[in-house]
Amino acid sequence: MRITVRSGAALLAAILTTGCNYSFVAGSFPPPHVRTIAIEPFENETARFELTGELYDQLLQNLPGALGIRTAGADIADAIVRGSITRYEVVAPNYRAGEPGQAARVLQRQVNVTVSVQIIDLVENVILWESANVTALGEFPEGAPEEGGREKAIELLVQKIVDGAQSNW
């Protein structure tokens, strides 16, 4: 008799726990009510005017999918991304010193791009995530076009924005 009662209790417990539809959504980004996002072109404080369009295109292509939401116009979106491009520079971090009286030989160049960004919940009127200093580096060999390094830096910027937003929750 004891075995039957124990077996029945174990069976009942198994049925109840497998039928439990428990889920945990706290800590997810974006919040459940944010289903659409608008992406504004970033203000550009640099002399490189093409950055605005290139960054906007990368954000539009990659950010909504990475966050699991759709794009929408700013007038109907649940959230908005806005920011500014604060720095752009090309540096030579890798070079070989020249002989006395000769110039150094540059081996590799690097594009550094820094942005300030905010993701704002328009439904609850709160800032979901922000950073005043997101920086990405895109390397390219000496003699190669700078655009390759800039493209890498912009791709990394978008990934850092996604990572930053998701790590905040």
137 by Cβ neighbours in 10 Å (0-12 / 13-18 / 19+) ranks as middle
List the domain range (segments joined by +) for residue 67. Answer: 2-167
In this prediction, residue 42 carries a pLDDT of: 98
In this prediction, residue 9 carries a pLDDT of: 56
CATH number at residue 56: 3.30.160
Q: How far apart are CA 109 and CA 54, in angstroms?
A: 20
In this prediction, residue 59 carries a pLDDT of: 98
Number of independent structural domains in the chain: 1
In this prediction, residue 108 carries a pLDDT of: 82
> Which parts of the chain have pLDDT scores under 70?
1-28, 94-96, 98, 104-106, 168-169
In this prediction, residue 143 carries a pLDDT of: 82
Q: What pTM was computed for the model?
A: 0.77
